[in-house]
Amino acid sequence: MEEKLERLDDNGLDLLFRNARTMNGWQDIAVSEEQLREIYDLFKFGPTSANSSPARIVFLKSVEAKERLLPALSPQNVEKTKTAPVTAIIAWDTEFYEKLPKLFPHADAKPWFASNAALSHETAFRNSSLQGAYFMLAARAVGLDCGPMSGFDVEKVNAEFFPDGKWKANFICNIGHGDESKLFPRSPRLDFEEACTIL
């Protein structure tokens, strides 16, 4: 009989959470298409509302693709993005509900969203953010580091990469093997009592 893992051990928890850091510099080690597919084949399983899976990812791997992004970045994000092996634009599909007949086959869920622009926007933004987090933890789980950023001109990114307006950028994330010499000291976190209540 197959043994199911009950929980991650300390090394696994360190890898995903306790020792994982947002990287500001990168080693010169490529990230392959196979690795990007492996990350996708993990993070796609994370839960979303009605399995709507609204996130779309544009992986910028070539120098030419990267060059198109750089003018939209805040100055402090340019150098690290230039040197990252891959930069992912985590976007959402404003018409994600068109895929619901495939994704949620047991009910006619498309009209719930297609007829309600506010609900549709909120669902796409919340769930593509959830998926962005699954993406980062999946990347860490397969041994890569992440460097997420919101410091960019979203209108410029949308105009450059999504001129038809169907996809919208949520945030950007460099991935690769981080250069630990470029790390800042870790900033404090809130205490349990500042962030949580038990009723």
Q: Whose Cβ is closer to its own copies: residue 75's or residue 184's?
A: 184
Q: Whose Cβ is closer to its own copies: residue 28's or residue 190's?
A: 190
Examine residue 108 and tell whether it contacts its own copies (CB under 8 A).
Answer: no
- Residue 20 corresponds to which tokens in the numbers above? 């994982």
Examine residue 183 and tell whether it contacts its own copies (CB under 8 A).
Answer: no
Window 33-72: residues binding its own copies (CB under 8 A): 33, 36-37, 40-47, 49, 51, 53, 55-62, 64-65
Window 76-105: residues binding its own copies (CB under 8 A): 99, 102-105
How far is Cα 172 from Cα 129, in angstroms, rounded to an integer? 11
CB of 79 to its own copies, least distance (A): 19
Q: Whose Cβ is closer to its own copies: residue 28's or residue 185's?
A: 185
Nearest Cα residue to 129 out of 101, 168, 157, 95: 168
Contact call for residues 87 and 123 (beta carbons, < 8 A): no
Name every residue whose Cβ is closer than 8 Å to that of residue 23 and which is 6 or more positions away in sequence: 80, 145, 146, 147, 174, 176, 178, 179, 182, 183
Residue keyed to tokens 């549709």? 120
What SS3 class is residue 8?
coil
Q: Whose Cβ is closer to its own copies: residue 78's or residue 177's?
A: 177
CB of 90 to its own copies, least distance (A): 10
Instruction: Calculate Rg over the CA atoms of the chain.
Output: 18
Q: How many residues bind its own copies (CB under 8 A)?
A: 79
CB of 137 to its own copies, least distance (A): 5
- Residue 139 corresponds to which tokens in the numbers above? 């990347």
Window 147-176: residues binding its own copies (CB under 8 A): 148, 150, 170-171
- Residue 27 corresponds to which tokens in the numbers above? 């080693």
